[in-house]
Amino acid sequence: MPVDQSKIVVGGIYATANNQERKVTKIENGYVHWDSRGGNVQNDWSPGHTKAGPTPLTKFAEDCARIVSVP
């Protein structure tokens, strides 16, 4: 089940169904800038999208299955 868009906040960490963790770094004009890492391994964060292509908020929410933590 997707995460509610209203629950997507800067600094929040969300997980996909495959347990990829996504940390929101910025929300601007309806687009989410985020970093990612494997949820099982907990490696360092790396860019989750291209600099020129942040993810639309609706798509980001659809791709995330649960909230890991929010500030």
Q: How far apart are CA 70 and CA 21, in angstroms?
A: 13
pLDDT at 6: 95
Structure token digits, residue 51: 């600099």
Q: How far apart are CA 9 and CA 66, in angstroms?
A: 13
pLDDT at 38: 87
pLDDT at 48: 86
- Closest C-alpha to 15, from 42, 49, 50, 47: 42
pLDDT at 51: 78
pLDDT at 52: 82
- What one-character DSSP code corresponds to residue 7? G
| pLDDT averaged per 10 residues, the chain (length 71) | 94 95 96 90 83 92 96 92
Q: CA 14, 18, 64: angle at the middle one, nearest 5?
A: 35
Supply the pTM of this predicted model.
Answer: 0.89
